[in-house]
Amino acid sequence: MTAKSTARLLRGTPSTLARLARRLRAGDLVAVPTETVYGLAANALDARACRKIFTAKGRPANDPLIVHIHALAQLSQVAEINAAALKLAKKFWPGPLTLVLPKKPIVPSLVSAGLPSVAVRMPSHPLFRRLLKLTGLPLAAPSANRFGYVSPTTAEHVRAGLGNKIKSILDGGPCTIGLESTIVDLRDPRHPRLLRPGVITRAQLERTLGVRVLAAPSAAKAKTGAQLAPGLLARHYSPRTPVTLHAKLSRAAAQRSPAGEAWVFLAQPRVVAGKNIFWLDANGDLPGVARRLFATMRRVDALRFTRIHVELARGKGLADAINDRLRRASAV
Ligand code: TXA
Ligand code: MG
């Protein structure tokens, strides 16, 4: 799939973390574990360092990066804060929530893709937190995958995609959440808008803020180009194999299908078995589905079926986030 890997998977020992912090301060890239997906990190205040992220990922310059911080005090260094942002930060940080706020001049415009706003998140993964603290800098980090492909949820996934572009991958084990953070636009605190659904749901944000949060533009709308949030392309997170979505997968259809087509159920199906049958969580529990979604899509994609049939999640909240990723994976 890729040229020979030169990247090393590193355990987060104190001496390794100290070395990686020095690398980051010197302007190098380091792939890092987060609770959502692995990120490709660089000093967010150094445009030259951040340019390397775009090059390594093959990411277009109009797709802005998320800036990661270790402490709340760093938020006002990079963004104009407001009361709504502080409420959400106090409730959900460290954790899988990204806030879009007006940008401070210290953040290079390359990071925000020329926008006057910046996306900021305080991650909860203990190794990434230690690294952030050691560097003492905000770190820009998009997902550590080749642009457009499925996001990485293990250090091996990062190596498979970017192994010949970067030197160091900090291995923090499989990501516990498995979907990218919820993104909320808080530039106008009275009219917050969800830009990307995630495990922190719109209902949770509304309860904390006490105001209505506008829904994310649907993948279908994004496809027509209308209301396209920057970087939120209709086609994204995509395996190479074509994906067909189903409100409910029928066991009978799976059994009748040609062996060259893969079937990915939410829960382990009873009776049907075969090399083309997969499931995301034994019981179909949504946190498990979310955690294994990207790893399963990668595994099935590598088996070169002619088509991947996937069952959509049912319900609201986390189901919306899972289905958002599936719709983007199936967009053509
Ligand atoms: O969970 C996550 O958010 C992971 C980990 C590594 O933290 N990061 C991540 O980044 O998923 P990624 O590759 O999805 O890219 C960041 C996205 C952009 O594509 C865009 O949709 C949004 O964040 N974004 C960044 N800055 C923005 C801004 N100023 N305004 C609106 N959206 C922005
Ligand atoms: Mg991404």
pLDDT tens-digit map of 91-137: 999 999 999 999 999 999 999 999 999 999 999 999 999 999 999 99
| Percent of the chain surpassing pLDDT 70 | 93
Which class would CATH give 8-221?
A: alpha beta
Distance, in Å, from the CA atom of 261 to the CA atom of 245, rounded to the nearest integer, reads: 13
In short, whether 162's Cβ falls inside 6 Å of ligand 1 is no
Q: Name the more confident of 301 and 258.
A: 301
**CA angle, 199 as apex, 322 and 323 as ends, to 5°?**
15
Q: Is the CB of 143 under 6 A from ligand 1?
A: yes
Taking ligand 2, which is a single-atom ion, which protein residues have CB atoms under 5 Å away? 143
Question: Ligand 2 mean position to 271 CA, how many Å?
Answer: 37
Nearest residue by C-alpha to atom 3 in ligand 1: 181
User: CATH 3.90.870.10 region(s) of the chain?
Assistant: 8-221
Q: What is the pLDDT of residue 223?
A: 46
Indicate if the pLDDT at residue 269 is higher than 80.
Answer: yes
Assess whether the C-beta atom of 63 lies below 6 angstroms from ligand 1: yes
Read off the tokens for 83.
């009361």
The amino acid present at 330, given as its one-letter code, is S
Q: pLDDT per residue over 165-214, tens digit each?
A: 999 999 999 999 999 999 999 999 999 999 999 999 999 999 999 999 99
Most ligand 1 atoms within 8 A of CB, residue of 32, 57, 98, 150 to mutate: 98
Q: Residue 142 C-alpha to ligand 1 middle, in angstroms?
A: 6
Residue minimizing CA distance to atom 32 of ligand 1? 230
Q: What's residue 165's pLDDT?
A: 96
Rounded to 5 degrees, φ, ψ at 173 are 80, 180
Radius of gyration of the chain (CA): 20
